[in-house]
Amino acid sequence: MHEILNAINLYKSYGGVHALKDFNFSVNESEIHCLVGENGSGKSTFVKIVVGAISPDKGEIILNNHKYTSLTPIQAIHEGIQVIYQDLSLFAHLSVAENIAINSLIAKGKNLINKHEINQIAEAQLKRIGISLDLSMPLEELSTANRQLVAICRALSLDAKILFMDEPTTALTKVEVDRLLSIILELKQRGLSIVFISHKLNEVFEVADRITILRDGKKVGDYKPYELDYKKLTYYMTGREVEYPRYKHETSNNKPLLEIKSLTKKGNYENISLKLYPGDILGIIGLLGSGRTELALSLFGLNPPDKGEIIIDGKPVNISSPLDARKVGIGLLPEDRQTKGLFPKKSILENITVSVLNRISSNFGVVNRNLQIELCNDAIKSMHIVAPNFDTPIQSLSGGNQQKSLVARWAITSPKIFILDSPTVGVDVGSKAEIYDIIQNFASKNVGIILITDELPELLANCNKVFVMHNGQIVAELSEDELKEENISIKIQDLMSANEKSLHQNTKD
């Protein structure tokens, strides 16, 4: 098999800490090579070296028989290297055609924009992956799945030989994931090589020709998929057995913490009714656009409902702002931690304690620094947050540690009800297990949890009841006994698929 990339004995250190140590990695023509490891294992460092963003301390890279001790971004592009990052790095206000063609036009040194040429480039690449999109549509109006396809087309427009894909399925539904993986496999058949980076190990097993595992900057090994199973792969990634113990819910005769009656927000959801009891972990699963996130935002005062009733501890409440939600004991971990949760340039200390500034400040607004540090250090310890110190900018932490910091922000407020929207997106397997443990620990202390997720294993490991949402409505409710059934994963997936196919059919009609 023809080798088109060979990275040999790569080293990269930051302040005495090895990000990569004696790392070797190769890619063959027409191969899907999956690169896996926990956050902080060195995956991003390797990608940055290959695309020319940083230089290795030692080692060499051979691309198409050309040897480099370091690359520039232009050299990487000329060698056929393209990367689709998790945030896609597209231009929201440009059209589909402009987003696809822009790199190709820049590479050709075009100073004048020719709309006909732009459309020709875009049409050719869309045809190459077998899809059709409105070329004039602004990118911001596309679904996340179609934006991902635009990013692929843009990479292909520069005659990519090796396409690096970083967490490409993070925000996609099951049907969208299946379509993307099918396109990836088709591109492989046409001669493209793909380096697929993902925390979703089921997808890794589905597409991989080869799997390389990184841990603490070192290569654990290269494997064929049949040489590994889920348990062995997670062990090699983390160096420990990773278990997802099922939540043991203790039934009680307590009154509900939260009761929702016929809650409706026009265009988002309608006639939602449910009860949340102390110690419940109530799961909500549904497609993007099902109304699940909008419901969570309503309960936190960011998307007030048009009608219906919210009852907490037996008393009707009006929640029209996050302050109202906090006063009645509701906390929210948002779906997108980067844009709606974190203050990226602020410290861990500031990010965690922002929720209790009223408690740690004097009447004149002066923060009690000692109390602030004490609260933060206790939270760091209890949440097992790995960081040099509390003054570290939170943007420098791994995804898992950022997420645990946001959970800590609400933990110190002692919430009665905690809503977590997609809490393990972009989080590695080790941090995922820790977050599950934190969620279950909250519930064991009679906090009511609402867990919104796309991941069936996440639902089944944590929830004692599950609601399936579609098109703004609850279409199924699954009890604790039903969740213990042998084929429950298939049942939930069938519900999701049936509703998604129905939605697509209605859209076509």
Is the pLDDT at 396 greater than 90? The verdict is: no
pLDDT value of position 112: 66
Is the pLDDT at 508 greater than 50? The verdict is: no
Is the pLDDT at 509 greater than 50? The verdict is: no
Cα angle: 249, vertex 253, 256; to 5 degrees: 85
The CATH label, of 3.10.150.10, 3.20.20.140, 3.40.50.300, 3.40.50.2300, for the domain at 3-238 is 3.40.50.300
pLDDT value of position 254: 78
Lowest mean pLDDT, pick from 6-15, 111-120, 432-441, 471-480? 111-120
Cα angle: 211, vertex 216, 220; to 5 degrees: 35
pLDDT value of position 225: 96
pLDDT value of position 507: 43
Q: In what order do the strands lie in the sheet with 269-276?
A: 269-276, 258-265, 307-312, 315-317
Is the pLDDT at 270 greater than 90? The verdict is: yes
Residue 278's pLDDT band (cuts 50, 70, 90): very high
Is the pLDDT at 204 greater than 60? The verdict is: yes
Mean pLDDT of 335-358: 91
Q: Is the dihedral of CA 213, 197, 342, 296 positive or negative?
A: negative
Is the pLDDT at 194 greater than 80? The verdict is: yes
Report which of residues 469 and 144 the model is more confident about.
469
Distance CA 35, CA 18 (A): 18
Q: Where in the chain is the domain with CATH 3.40.50.300?
A: 3-238, 258-508
Percent of the chain beyond pLDDT 70?
94
Is the pLDDT at 304 greater than 90? The verdict is: yes
Residue 499's pLDDT band (cuts 50, 70, 90): low
Mean pLDDT of 61-73: 95
Distance CA 269, CA 382 (A): 37
- Per-residue model confidence as pLDDT tens digits over 139-177: 988 888 888 899 999 988 888 999 999 988 877 777 788
Non-local CB neighbours of 490 within 8 Å, separated by 6+ positions: none
Distance CA 348, CA 81 (A): 36
Three-state DSSP class for residue 230 = helix
- Select from 389, 384, 388 the least CA-distant residue to 431: 384
Mean pLDDT of 364-386: 93
Q: Mark out the alpha helices in 392-487 (DSSP H runs).
A: 399-411, 429-444, 456-462, 480-483
Three-state DSSP class for residue 240 = coil
Is the pLDDT at 257 greater than 90? The verdict is: yes
pLDDT value of position 17: 80
Phi and psi at 63, nearest 5°, equal -125, 120
- Select from 214, 170, 249, 180 the least CA-distant residue to 33: 214
Mean pLDDT of 258-277: 96
Residue 500's pLDDT band (cuts 50, 70, 90): low
Mean pLDDT of 355-370: 91
Query: β-pairing, 162-166 with 193-197?
Result: parallel
- Select from 282, 223, 244 the least CA-distant residue to 458: 244
Is the pLDDT at 506 greater than 50? The verdict is: no
Give the chain's mean pLDDT. Answer: 89
pLDDT value of position 311: 97
Percent of the chain beyond pLDDT 90?
63
Is the pLDDT at 78 greater than 70? The verdict is: yes
Lowest mean pLDDT, pick from 171-185, 187-201, 308-322, 432-446? 171-185
Superfamily of domain 258-508: P-loop containing nucleotide triphosphate hydrolases (3.40.50.300)
| Tokens (6 digits) for 74 | 């232009």
Residue 259's pLDDT band (cuts 50, 70, 90): very high
Mean pLDDT of 301-309: 96
pLDDT value of position 251: 66
